[in-house]
Amino acid sequence: MQNIELNVLATMLNKKVWDRTKNFITPIMFPKDWRSIAHSIKEAHLKYEDIEKLDKASLIGVHKIMFPATPDSKAEQTDILIDNLLQLETVNEDLAYDWSKVFWQRDMAKQIGERAVEFWTGGDELAFSDIAKMIERVASNSLDAHDTFTIIHDDFQQLVQSTVQDPDFTFGISSLEENIQGMNRGDFGIIFARPEVGKTSFCAHLASHYIASGYKVHYWANEELAKKVKLRIITSFFDIDKHTLLNKKDTYIKEYKERIDKNLVVIDSVGTSIDEIVNFTALNKPDVIFIDQMDKVKIDGVFTRGDERLKELYVGGRELAKRNNCLVWAVSQASYEAHQREVIEYSMLDNSRTGKAGEADIIVGIGKGLGVDDNTRFLTVSKNKINGWHGTSHATLNIATGRYSV
């Protein structure tokens, strides 16, 4: 037993110290022979809430209740350990917390090493993503962040303020922003339309708008060639057609390098799996992700029906946004029912009965009516957890530049 482990276990006898460290110091972090005592300390604090510091009688009493089949030889070892803990000099709460923090960091380093070995030996393809997340936790001192959940510590003022603050990401389309100011980190949205109506152009418009605001954008393209998608985003950013860009490329090259190149990553992702997207995201930390098209992304697992696969895939998209604190847009096709319609709702989403729509915070359908001006698009929000507004906004698509405007 190393000194820091002994000291941390001893400080846990103090109720105030235990309260401060209980969410990140767990029994499994201690050597196997000592875990029963760590469990007993936890149970004793829960049982005897008024005791500021656990004594030998209460701790041994709880231990006997929790582990009644302990052999006599092991019980003697437990008795000696408890005596050793009680004999250690009492330290102030801040020092005890610092010891616990260092102990947690050492345990995280151990876990990172174990996962690295698993990745090296090819035993777990997700290990690399886990390693990246654990390193981020240590680097940011996220003591209360766990593998599957994070404890929220915002105070009342912070929580109230979060409901009135400006959104992280606006649309750059005034007719839409009149009803929905924008999106936030952790949101998951779906953009859908019939072929050749303007899904990718809409995404290129949003991407260029985000880049202009200084955000880092990842665009996963498995439908259209990645080079074409990147060119669309560039022309939308400068609001020029590709021929002008070609003829005046020297005019735009400096701004491209300074503002676009460092903030835009476009990936040719035919055959890519959701796990690969998750791993890449954990390592590179974008602010916004586009997956075009989401339905074509691969996902591991055995599914008896296609709707089960799509449901699980969109669950993965939502988790991608939440766990990486970024905005994720999934791009999908509309069913034939939406052909030449101005207003298309999410019931017209291709494979709409799979449950994938249920995972989205917002769904935007892009419609183009028969006989309507070729540049006019109808942006219908038929699902909206952001602020509840449902309706249709008009916008004009400049087909040459890919820029949406009113």
The pLDDT assigned to 332 comes to 95
Residue 357 predicted with pLDDT over 80: yes
- Cis? peptide before 87, omega within 30° of 0: no
Domain with 56 in it: what CATH number? 1.10.860
Instruction: Confirm whether 274 is domain-assigned.
Output: yes
| Residues 178 and 257 placed together within one structural domain of the fold | yes
Q: Which two tokens stand for residue 37?
A: 């005592």
pLDDT at 149 over 60: no
Lowest average pLDDT, out of 136-140, 192-196, 359-363, goes to 136-140
CATH number at residue 188: 3.40.50.300
CA atoms within 13 A on the CB side of 240: 12
Structure tokens at 297: 């992304």
Q: In this structure, what are the phi and psi dihedrals at residue 240, rounded to the nearest 5 degrees?
A: -135, 160
Q: What is the pLDDT of residue 1?
A: 41
- Comparing 67-76, 139-148, 383-392, which segment has the lowest mean pLDDT? 139-148
Look at residues 89, 114, 139 and tell me which one is the last residue of a structural domain: 139
Give every strand in the sheet of 288-292, ordered side by side: 264-268, 217-221, 288-292, 327-333, 188-193, 362-367, 376-384, 391-398, 403-405
- Of 117, 139, 161, which residue is a domain's last? 139
Strand partners, 349: 334
Same domain, 61 and 193: no
What's phi and psi for 322, nearest 5 deg? -65, -50
102 & 194 share domain: no
User: Does residue 358 sit in the same domain as residue 296?
Assistant: yes
Residues 225 and 132 both lie in one domain: no
The model's pTM is: 0.67
Residue 250: CB atoms within 10 A of its CB come to: 7
Is position 147 within any domain?
Answer: no
Tell whether 191 and 71 lie within a shared domain. Answer: no
Residues 288, 351: one domain? yes
Task: Compute φ and ψ for 237, nearest 5 degrees.
Answer: -60, -50
Cα(229)–Cα(338) distance, rounded to whole angstroms? 24
Q: Are residues 120 and 184 in the same domain?
A: no
Q: Quote the number of domains for the chain.
A: 2
Q: Rounded distance, CA 373 to CA 375, Å?
A: 5
Residue at which a domain ends, from 91, 116, 139: 139
Q: Is the predicted pLDDT of residue 227 greater than 90, yes or no?
A: yes
Do 133 and 178 fall within a single domain? Answer: no
Structure tokens at 367: 């419609």
Q: Are residues 179 and 58 in the same domain?
A: no
Please check whether residues 112 and 257 belong to one and the same domain: no
| Lookup: tokens for 334 | 């509309």
Q: Is the pLDDT of residue 160 over 70?
A: no
Is the confidence at residue 271, as pLDDT, over 70?
yes
Count of positions (residues) in the chain = 406
Residue 157 belongs to some domain of the structure: no
**Domain, as residue range, for 41:** 3-139
Asked if the structure places residue 381 within a domain, the reply is: yes
The verdict on residue 161 lying in a domain is no
Judge whether 206 lies within some domain. Answer: yes
* CA pair distance 21, 25, nearest whole angstrom: 6
pLDDT of residue 114: 82
H helical segments located in 261-406: 274-284, 306-324
Quick check: 12 and 34 in contact, CB under 8 A? no
Any domain includes 284: yes
23-56 pLDDT per residue, tens: 888 888 888 778 888 888 988 888 887 888 888 8
Does the residue 154 lie in any domain?
Answer: no
Q: Identify whether residues 133 and 196 lie together within a single domain.
A: no
Q: Is the pLDDT of residue 126 over 70?
A: no
